[in-house]
Structure 1
Amino acid sequence: MSSVMGNFVNGTLLPSIPVVADSWEGYIAQAKELSSPRILLLACINIPIVVIVVNVLRQLLVPRRKSDIPVVFHWLPIIGSAIEYGNNPLKFFLSCQEKYGDVFTFVLFGRHVTVALGAKGNNFVLGGKSTAFGAEEAYQHLTTPVFGKDVVYDVPNHVFMEQKKFIKVGLTTDNFRKYVDMIVEEVEAFLENDPAFEVYQTGDTTKWGQFDPLEALADITILTASRTLQGKEIRSSLDKSFSKLYSDLDGGFTPVNFLFPNLPLENYRKRDVAQRKMSEFYVDIIRKRKEGKQHEDDMISALMSQEYRSGSPLRDHEVAHLMIALLMAGQHTSSITSTWALLNMAAKPGFVEALYKEQVQYFGTADGKFRSLTYEELRALPLLDATIRETLRLHPPIHSIMRYVREDVPIPPTFAAPSKDGSYVVPKGNYVLASPLVSQMDPKVWKKPSEWDPYRWSDPEGAAAQALKTYVDGNGEKIDFGFGAVSKGTESPYQPFGAGRHRCVGEQFAYLQLGTILATLVRKIEMRIPTGVPENNYHTMITMPKNPRHIHYRRRVS
């Protein structure tokens, strides 16, 4: 048999090849012998195509049950919608919402993630029972290698709630009053010494310099946090080995670590070494304090004195790991939020001047200078407060909050979902996701949601004021999850610090830190940004601004 043809051999598509054989069996043998490299090549090409085709046909042809939540169509199995979600979660969510409604499921590297959007979606996920939705399974693989064992998501929920109560002991109003001056001193010292503020240091009030707010605020945030919460030993070590440990540990707090926690990569090895050394660093401080009977008025001291309900004290390594958790979690959220605030402020120089005049009104003296900031007065500055709240609305640090589904959970019929009988069920083994970003950008709630407009918070009858009231007051509903009575806040479309049992325990300190840093910078420098506010970089754990993002500044006339 002689021919030039393409054919199937044992189910494999062969390319067209010239074959000369006396029988069909001879043709098969000759084809196999001549084309084995080509067969391997075509297999590498065809198998992925077949897998994709099967994945598409399964989505299109396999019938769905009434309780099945719509699944976002995706070409690639396993990977699913990871690329679209990772590049721009807001665009992805809004596109899916238009197609599927407020409830849908998407595939994220093998995980099935059920998204519940809007205020009702926030309430469904964040207000859910811990027996049904677990934060531990969702985040333990990311946080435990960074924070350490036996704290936060590495312990049962009721233990974590006790640990949050211990942290609140160190976050007192008396301490906050002391912290204001400390933060001001750190910011002023930074302006006087950091190379990026060379123009400021000359005292020339006519020249303009520029700085990267992301880099500057990262340094300022860790300096102020260490000076206030972390203790004098940490603050004195920031220019030494501790800074290197922090950098290596921070390298393990990325989306890649969240998705793939145990890859044999160098940054994972550095993360683990840094965690162990940083833990030893804190434990050594704790032991020296115990031996010397020292008492410092800081968070380490507050935690060292705490006991669980069982009567057991916090162990040294637990104190150390809680301090690492406070450092890492607070550093990211505060530095990025203050960065976004400065970028938006600099894009509106007239607004910066309004903030400056507010301080003149509240803190100005007869000789044209300023008296010291105070905690109570900082909290009462309406425009500064609105600046922080509007920045958190437009740029929430966390755009997605996940929980692991521990048991089948029906979605309430009152939830706005495209189910005819409200019978959707989130199956055990899925993840659920709430997005504060979507609810805080909802045009049905917020007027011109994409616009940074702090003045929206000054309208007592406006959407912002009502959302804040629901978040802060909870419509009169207070719940004690184990760390003191707090507003549940899960039904609010505004949730900058999360809601429910996992609402951030450091919320009030964050407002103090952000307010004091921003107020001090407004006093010291004028700002503008010729390139405008940059776009979001969603490829990081906390949504950062892309380049270019340099702010131009000049020193104010004293």
Structure 2
Amino acid sequence: MSFTAHMNGTLPFQDLWSPYFTEVQAYLPQSKSRLALLLLVNAPIVVILINALLQVIIPRKASDPPVIFHWLPIIGSAISYGNDPLNFFFACREKYGDVFTFILLGRKVTVALGPKGNNFILGGKSTVLNAEDAYTHLTTPIFGKDVVYDVPNDVFMEQKRFVKVGLSSDNFRTYVGMIEEEVEDFISHDPSFSVYQANDINEWGSFDVQKVLQEITILTASRTLQGKEVREGLDKSFSGLYNDLDAGFTPLNFLFPNLPLPSYRRRDKAHIKMSQFYVDIIKKRRENGHHGDPDMIEALMNQSYRNGKPLRDHEIAHIMIALLMAGQHTSSSSGSWTLLHLAANPEIAEALYQEQVKNFGTPDGKLRSMTYEELRELPLMDAVIRETLRMHPPIHSIMRKVRDDVAIPPTLSAPSEDSTYVIPKGHYVLASPAVSQTDPRVWRDALKWDPYRWSDPEGVAAQAFATYADENGEKIDYGFGAVSKGTESPYQPFGAGKHRCIGEQFAYLQLGTIVATVIRHMEIRIDSVPEHNYHTMITMPKTPRNISYRRRKFD
């Protein structure tokens, strides 16, 4: 009788083991190597069963959040989370509530959902819930030493203050025309828009929206923030460096930062060369005198820390790399989703075009260029961008590493009246604004892209944005200027708290100008909006993502 038969219960319990050991004893003299092979082959199954059994029989402490059941040790829930994090979170919430823990490749990650969860994690003290510990292994090889998460939090906050100097309204006023010119030049010369270039208003062409937006985003960012030397240096060699560096910005690099792989070596070599590229620009400017252009390099070259020490050249170079990499990913993703939804909703795209006709139309039927102030006063454009960021925030999960045992507030999720959950030192916590931004408990038709929801001054969207912006409320200065904390809002497209993105206003400017310029030159169509691709650090649309287009009649 085989062991399988015993496990299936075909023999009485008292007879289970005697025949089995008889079989084993008869087998051993024949072949110890076969037994070893048998044990080796079945070892993974045994480990999986033991892992499952331990989760069932070992009681959970009252102070521990519930742990998501998982079959695979170490791997835990990585597959479910990695394939579709939002569905994973919503499913877990239905069973365990707003607070739960899951295993992510050996890491214990406690999730706190909803506005209260976001407030607990994103509004938490950096001495306890720390961003540097969570991200430096990913960002430092790409951005470089002595900046962002490679420095103490107070130094990073000073560096953010330096960057804000370059994000002035005066600079923004010069950027709108630059971005518009770059977009028009791109669609007039890039092979992706050959039908447009043929000047045929009846023929339809198509383009890969993600590919096009990636190129447009880096062109417009280099023309504005990065400076003319960077824009002029956008040749094949720079593109190669960028691509090698960009290849290090993946979930694999986040989980395993130092694998002996060729892509990792290319990443490190690319960082050295790109850093030197910026340092050379800075040195030449110092030698020739600052040229006064309204770009970020110029702004950073004039900055000093509170202790009087000026920013060193390599720090400026690394901040510039950080701005290039982080901004390019988020803006190209948001721009792609915006055009995809407009292509799937041509009536809204047409209304967006008519908004421009109303505001920028000329007697000869053309559209004049926009100003920064005029771009800020386009209500439908503003609503389109807000709604796209609601449904497609670039980052779905924001993590912090726990530096000291921390209790989760009872108002968020208490196991009982007399106790609360405690997250131990060394674990991770995770907030997901993407969940609160698509939560059907908060938003009407949460998964429907509807820009007009932002037009209702009494609606959920307007209230959520007011809480996020908090223009008339108390501001907090984390070291880079007073900003709205925004951690209690269900709408947080640029994060919240001290790590709220300081490039928020530039992102609106860049995205709004790109979308407005595309819409004024062409009609766009697509049958349906693609699903999310969650296998990248920044949430991108899955392929195929080709948008059909044709040139506007009065372009």
Report how far residue 234 of structure 1 moved: 0.8
Q: Which amino acid aligns with 1:322?
A: I
Q: Which moved more, 1:79-88 or 1:465-474?
A: 465-474
Give the Cα–Cα distance (whole angstroms) in 2 for the partners of residues 6 and 462 of structure 1. Answer: 64
The sequence identity of aligned pairs, in percent, is 69
Q: Is the 8 A contact 2:456 2:462 kept in 1?
A: yes
Where does residue 466 of structure 1 map in the other structure? 463
Cα gap change, 1:413/1:277 in structure 2, threshold over 3 Å: closer, same or farther? same
Q: 1:387-536 alignment to 2 at 5 Å?
A: 387-473=384-470, 476-530=473-527, 532-536=528-532
The count of corresponding residues between Structure 1 and Structure 2 is 541
- In 1, the alpha carbon distance for the partners of 2:414 and 2:193 equals 53
Residue 386 of structure 1: aligned partner: 383
Query: Is 1:335 the counterpart of 2:332 in the alignment?
Result: yes
Say whether 1:287 aligns with 2:287.
Answer: no
Whether 1:349 and 2:346 are equivalent positions in the alignment is yes
Give secondary structure in 2 for the equivalent of 1:476.
coil
Flag the 1:76–1:6 CA change in 2: closer, same or farther, 3 A. Answer: closer
Whichever residue aligns with residue 134 of structure 1, its letter is N
Deviates more, 1:78-87 or 1:284-293: 284-293
Residue deviations 1:230-283 (CA, integer Å, cap 9, x gap): 011110111231111000000000000000001111111110010111001111
How large is the RMSD of aligned CA atoms in angstroms?
1.9
Distance 1:118 1:252 in 2: 31
Residues 415, 421 of structure 2: 8 Å contact kept:
no
Q: CA deviation at 1:291?
A: 1.2
Q: Map 1:172-191 to 2 at 5 A.
A: 172-191=168-187
1:248 maps to 2:244? yes
2:95 to 96, 99, 111: 99
> Which residue of 1 is the match for residue 134 of structure 2?
138
* Contact 1:411–1:422 under 8 Å retained in 2: no
Q: 1:58 maps to what in 2?
A: 54
Structure 2 distance, partners of 1:549, 1:130, is 39
Mapped contact 1:81–1:106 kept (Cα < 8 A)? yes
Question: Which is worse superposed, 430-439 or 293-302?
Answer: 293-302
Secondary structure of 2:206's match?
Answer: strand
Provide TM-score, normalisation by structure 1.
0.94
Partner letter of residue 456 of structure 1?
R
Shift of 1:58: 1.4
Counterpart Cα distance in 2 of 1:191 and 1:283: 32
- How far apart are 1:214 and its partner, in Å? 0.3
Please state whether the residue corresponding to 1:76 is helix, strand or coil.
coil
User: Per-residue CA shift, 1:454-497, capped at 9, x if unaligned?
Assistant: 00000000000000000001760210000000000000000000
Corresponding residue for residue 545 of structure 2: 549
Gap change, CA 1:164 and 1:206, over 3 Å in 2: same
Question: More displaced, 179-188 or 543-552?
Answer: 543-552
> Is the counterpart of residue 153 in structure 1 residue 139 in structure 2?
no
TM-score, normalising length: structure 2: 0.95
Query: In the aligned structure 1, how far is the partner of 2:460 from the partner of 2:551?
Result: 37
CA distance in 2, matches of 1:70, 1:16: 38
Q: Deviations over 1:296-327 (max 9, x none)?
A: 33111111110001111111110000000000
Q: Secondary structure at the match of 1:414?
A: helix
Q: State the 1:44 CA deviation.
A: 2.2
Aligned equivalents of 2:219 and 2:100: distance in 1? 43
1:113 aligned to 2:100?
no
CA distance in 2, matches of 1:163, 1:450: 37
Q: Is the 8 A contact 1:97 1:103 kept in 2?
A: yes
Q: Does 1:312 align with 2:309?
A: yes
One-letter amino acid of the counterpart of residue 186, structure 1 = E
Q: Which residue of 1 aligns with 2:31?
A: 35
Deviations 1:66-99 (A, max 9, x none): 1111001111111000000000001100010001
Partner in structure 1 of residue 125 of structure 2: 129
Work out the CA distance in 2 between the residues paired with 1:481 and 1:34.
73
Q: Which runs of no fewer than 5 residues in structure 2 stay unpaired?
A: 5-16
Contact 1:237 1:243 in 2 (8 A): no
Deviations 1:431-472 (A, max 9, x none): 000001100011121100000000000000000000000000
**Shift of residue 31, structure 1, vs aligned partner:** 4.4
Q: Helix, strand or coil: the match of 1:526?
A: strand
| Residue 10 (structure 1) aligns with | none
- Give the conservation status (yes or no) of the 8 Å contact 2:63–2:415: no
**Which position in structure 2 is the counterpart of 1:215?**
211
Contact 1:122 1:434 in 2 (8 A): yes
Contact kept in structure 2, 1:101 and 1:418, CA below 8 Å: no
Q: Which moved more, 1:475-484 or 1:166-175?
A: 475-484
Local SS of the residue matching 1:164? helix
How far, CA to CA, are the matches of 2:452 and 2:413 in structure 1? 31
Q: Tell me whether 1:90 sits opposite 2:86 in the alignment.
A: yes
CA contact 1:5–1:18 (8 Å) conserved in 2: no
Tell me which residue corresponds to 1:24. Answer: none
CA contact (8 A) 1:101 1:417 kept: no
Determine the C-alpha separation between the residues in 1 that align with 2:483 and 2:419. 31
Letter in 1 for 2:516: A
Distance between the aligned counterparts of 1:185 and 1:124, measured in 2? Answer: 43
Deviation at 1:418, TM superposition (A): 4.9
Is 1:163 matched with 2:159? yes
Deviations, residues 124-143 of structure 1 (Å, cap 9, x unaligned) = 00000111100001000000
**Amino acid in structure 2 at the alignment position of 1:508:** Q
Tell me the distance in 2 between the aligned counterparts of 1:462 and 1:34.
78
Q: How far is 1:416 from its partner? A: 3.9
Pairwise CA distance, 1:5: 8.3
Distance in 1, matches of 2:149 and 2:3, equals: 58
Aligned pair in 2 of structure 1 residues 474, 139: CA closer, same or farther (>3 Å)? farther
Deviations 1:413-437 (A, max 9, x none): 1114554545111111110000011
